[in-house]
Amino acid sequence: MAQIKGLFVTARGGVEEVKQAFDAVGGELIVLENPDEGQIIEAVKDVDVAMTFGSAGTRSIFESMDRCQGWVGFGHGFDGADLDAAVDNGIILANTASFGTDEVSNQAIMHLLICSRKFVLHDKLVKNGTWTREHLAPMGHLPFQTLGIIGTGNIGRAVGRKAKAFGLRVVAYDPYVSSWDTKEMGFERAASINEVCEQADYLTLHTMLNEDTFQMIGDPQFKIMKPTAYLINVSRGKCVDEAALIRALNDGEIAGAGLDTFEQEPTPADNPLLKMDNVSVTSHYASYSEVAFTRGLTQLGEEGVRIALGQWPMSLINPTVQATIPPRDPARAWGTF
């Protein structure tokens, strides 16, 4: 068997973790640090697969990938890649879904608990020297309340499982998951986004960003949510109409929010959300832990090796490409982590 060759585009290190999978099969890994698009286009001409830690796949790059069979991106999201261009050019796209499932789901639960206990306000009061039992009501009581989940992939399912430990009823909507699978998860199935919004005491988002999910939560949804409800978003900031969220919070249409992501990142210092005592915020770090990132980078290399060896990846994100390229062997589970 000819030696496989992979390209790793990175601005944040991770070379040794990605290289493990290529070393395991006697492959070669070429590393480009902080390249421009022109350098990537030249480099992909001489490799079997490309992997990236932060560089989006563009049409120009995919059109240059004659020998190169696939493009693997680190992380859960893939809104930075041109999916149509990849299919047009027969390029397999994959990511490292599941690497930070525990971290992201824990972050969602953290924001839920912070909102439930009005932590932002009371932390601020105590630190400013005010010891008071005012401003307590209304205070959350999680058992028998409803968690609404939009998106039941790896992370959404993990959030639901953990929420049930707090006694929450879980109602979920995902148009790509069957009703029997939803039942197997132990969740109640909603027929639409609005149905989830109407029922939720806490609404949490776990979807990809695409044309269907862009600003899927906006004025219409906030107007039908309970005035005591909270929005939790650890997916993509642009899944929420941020201006509508600010209006809903100012008008008392919902009680508060917990946000790890924003429409613009870094979010401007004058963003009204940063000044609200009923909004908890973090800086889009939900997926991070040292363990998770090591696992994700190792997984990045493993997916690259699968593609280079003629297998499908575990985390295929453009399944329509299956109709445009020759058949491949199914993905086989193996791990160096």
Annotated catalytic sites, by residue? 236, 265, 284
Radius of gyration of the chain (CA): 22
Q: Give the integer Cα–Cα distance in Å for 264 and 262.
A: 5
CB contact at 8 A, 117 and 110: no
Q: Give the integer Cα–Cα distance in Å for 99 and 59.
A: 27
| Tokens coding 303 | 């997916």
311 DSSP 8-state letter: B
The CB density around residue 183, as the number of other CB atoms within 10 Å, is: 11
| Tokens coding 278 | 């009923």
CB contact at 8 A, 240 and 209: no
Q: Which amino acid is at 222?
A: F
Q: Give the integer Cα–Cα distance in Å for 144 and 164.
A: 10
Q: Give the integer Cα–Cα distance in Å for 81 and 72.
A: 10
66 DSSP 8-state letter: S
Consecutive H or E run containing 220: helix 219-224
Name the 3-class secondary structure at 51: strand
Q: Give the integer Cα–Cα distance in Å for 230 and 255.
A: 6
| Tokens coding 49 | 């697969």
Q: Give the integer Cα–Cα distance in Å for 39 and 274.
A: 39
